[in-house]
Amino acid sequence: MTYLEKYDLWLNSGHIDEETKNELKNIEDEIEIEDRFYKDLEFGTGGLRGVVGAGTNRMNIYTISKATQGFANYLNSSFENPSVAIAYDSRIMSKEFAKAAALTLAGNNVKVYLFEDLRPTPMLSYAVRHLNCKGGIVITASHNPKEYNGYKVYGEDGGQVTDKPAKEIIGYVNAIEDFSAIKTIDEEEAVNKKLLYYIGEEVDGSYIERVKNLSIRKELIKEKAKDLKIIYTPIHGSGKMPIERVLKEQGYDNLSIVEKQEKPDGTFPTAPYPNPEDPKVFKIALDMAKEINPDIIFGTDPDCDRIGAVVKDNSGEYKVLTGNETGILLTHYILSSLKETNKLPKNPVVIKTIVTSEAVKAIAKDYGVEIIDVLTGFKYIGEKIREFETDNSKNYLFGFEESYGYLAGTFVRDKDAVVAASLICEMTLYYKEKGLSLYEALTNLYDTYGYSKEDLVSIELQGKEGQEKIGSCIEHLRHSMKTSVNNVNIVKKQDYKLSIEKDLVNIHEEIINLPKSNVLKFILEDDSWFVVRPSGTEPKMKVYLSVKGSSLEDSKKKLEEFKESVMKIINDGLK
C-alpha cells in the first residue's frame, strides 16, 4: 500500500476521530504526508518512539492502541491472568497515551496498575516486580526534543524486553492489520470489572526505602548530610518528587531545586533539548550557583533515568561531567567503599556497554572485580542481572553506560537517576569531608589509573533518505574501511552484526557472543577506538571515540586529532 493510499484510508476510516482527520486534511505539503505514512512507526526491540501527530509513522492514540493490542495478545498467549504496570512522564500526550494503553489492556482482560500521576521510568521497573506483574509500559521519549514521545515495554523481571520476547511481541503487533482488531473499554467499566487499579504511595514509599538502603556510608550521611550544598533541576520532568523525597529523608536539608524547571511541562520551555548531557540545560542552575556556591549540581531528564552532574574544575569554572567521568567516579567510590567497609561480596561484577570508557577496567582489576561488556542499551545490563539471579554465578554491584545511565542495586532493572542522585550526593559528601571536590577526585583517579578521553558525535539525518544514508555509510565502513586512521594501524575490527571480531595483525577471527546489532568497532594499535552505530531511538548515526594519553591535556589533544580524522572517514561514507 502506498503512502497516499494509507493517507486516504485514515481519512475515510470509521475508526479515526474527526479531530485527527482534520489534522491530516490541513497538511499542504505532500512530503509531510509521505513522511507520516511511508511506513508504520516501527515497533522495535524496546517499543515505539516518534514524533507526536496523526499518521502511521507518528505517535498517536491509534499507533499506541495497536501496539498495546499486540502486547495484550502476547501476554494472553504466554501467561494466565497477566497484569501490567503503566507509568508516564511529563511529555505531551503522555497521560492520554498511558490511559489508552491501560484501557486497551483492560479490554483484553489484562489487569492494569496505572500510576495516579507521572512517575520516573525506574519506578515503573520497580513496580513491575513489586506488584508481580508480567509486564510493564512506560510512556516517554526520554531526553528527545518536545515533538517526540515513546512507548517502552518491560518484561516480568522489570527490565526492558530483550531480543527474544521483543521479536515475539513485534510479531503480534505486525499481525494487526487494521484498527477494528483493537479491543478497548471505557474507564468506568475497567474499574468496575477490577481490571484497572490506580497506584501511588504504597509503591512510592517502598521504592524510596529501597533507594535509601543502598547508601554505603550511612553514618557519614546521618552526621554530615546537612552540610552538603546541592542544586537540582528536574528539567520539567518526573524526577522532583522521588529525588527530593529521598534526599530530604536522608538529611540533605541544603537542597535547592531550580524553580523555573521544577514543574512538569512537556513543552520544556527552558530546555528545548531536555538532556542532562547538554550544558545549556544547566544555565539557570549555574546562575543560582553564583549565590549558593553548591558542592554539586545535577539534573535529570524527563523520565528521570539519566542524570548529569556539574562540578567546579581546578580553575573554579563549572564543568558538566561526561557520562563516562561520572561512571568512573561512581565505580571507584562504590568499589573502594565496599572494600573499606568489608561489604565487597564474592564474585563481584560491574557491567558496562561496548561504547563506554575502558578506564574502569583498571579500577575494577585493582579491587578484584570483574568487568563485563554488553551491547548498547541498558536492557542488556538488566538481562545480565537476571542471569546472575537465576544461576547465582556473580554478584552485581554497578552498571553504567556513557549516555548518563547508572544503576546500583537489583530492585530496579533499568538505569535509575534517583539511585544515582543519592549515590552522587553520598560520594560528593565523602570527598568533601576529605577536602576534595569531585573534579579533584576524578583527577586523582586519572593520575592513578591512566588518562583517557572519550567523545560522541551524533549526526542527525531525518526522514527516509536519512535512514538510507546511515545504512549505506555503515555498510561502506563494514566492507571498505581503511586499514589505518591518521597513520595509526587498526588492529581489530568488531562487527556485531556478523558477530565476528577480526584480529588484523594475527589474521585471526573470533565469535562475538552477544546479540546481533548493526554496530562496528575499530580498535587501533595505540588503544584508541571508535564505534559507529545507528541510534535506536532517534534519526541519528552515532560515532563514539576514545583515546589514551600521557596526561589530561595530551588526551584532549589526541582526541581532537583523532575525531577530525575519523569524522573525515565518516563524512566521506555519507556522500
DSSP state of 59: B
Domain 207-449 has CATH 3.40.120.10: yes
- How big is the chain by its Cα radius of gyration, in Å? 24
The neighbour count for residue 291, using CB atoms within 10 Å, is 8
Return the SS3 of 533.
strand
Q: Which of 83, 90, 94, 142 is catalytic?
A: 142
244-246-248 Cα angle (round to 5): 65
Q: Catalytic site residue 480?
A: no
500 φ/ψ angles, rounded to the nearest 5 degrees:
-130, 135
Torsion of CA 42, 47, 51, 54, to 10 degrees: 70
**Ranges in the chain annotated CATH 3.30.310.50:** 452-574
DSSP result, 144-207: S-TTEEEEEEE-TTSSBP-HHHHHHHHHHHHT--SGGG-----HHHHHHTT-EEEE-HHHHHHH
Q: How far apart, in Å, are the Cα atoms of 565 and each of 148, 568, 570?
A: 33, 5, 9
The class (CATH top level) of 452-574 is alpha beta
Query: What is the Cα–Cα distance from 55 to 40, expressed in whole angstroms?
Result: 8
Query: What is the Cα–Cα distance from 189 to 195, expressed in whole angstroms?
Result: 8
Per-residue pLDDT of the chain (575 residues; tens, 9 = 90+): 899 999 999 999 999 999 999 999 999 999 999 999 998 888 776 789 999 999 999 999 999 999 999 999 999 999 999 999 999 999 999 999 999 999 999 999 999 999 999 999 999 999 999 999 999 999 999 988 999 999 999 999 999 998 889 999 999 999 998 889 999 999 999 999 999 999 999 999 999 999 999 999 999 999 999 999 999 999 999 999 999 999 999 999 999 999 999 999 999 999 999 999 999 999 999 999 999 999 999 999 999 999 999 999 988 899 999 999 999 999 999 999 999 999 999 999 999 999 999 999 999 999 999 999 999 989 999 999 999 999 999 999 999 999 999 999 999 999 999 999 999 999 999 999 999 999 999 999 999 999 999 999 999 887 778 888 898 999 999 998 889 998 999 999 999 999 999 999 989 999 999 989 999 999 999 999 999 999 876 778 999 999 999 998 999 999 999 999 999 999 988 87
Which three three-digit cell numbers place residue 240? 522532583
Query: What is the Cα–Cα distance from 116 to 102, expressed in whole angstroms?
Result: 12
Per-residue model confidence (pLDDT) at position 45:
66
**Ranges in the chain annotated CATH 3.40.120.10:** 39-199, 207-449
Domain 39-199 belongs to what architecture?
3-Layer(aba) Sandwich (3.40)
Query: What is the Cα–Cα distance from 499 to 519, expressed in whole angstroms?
Result: 10
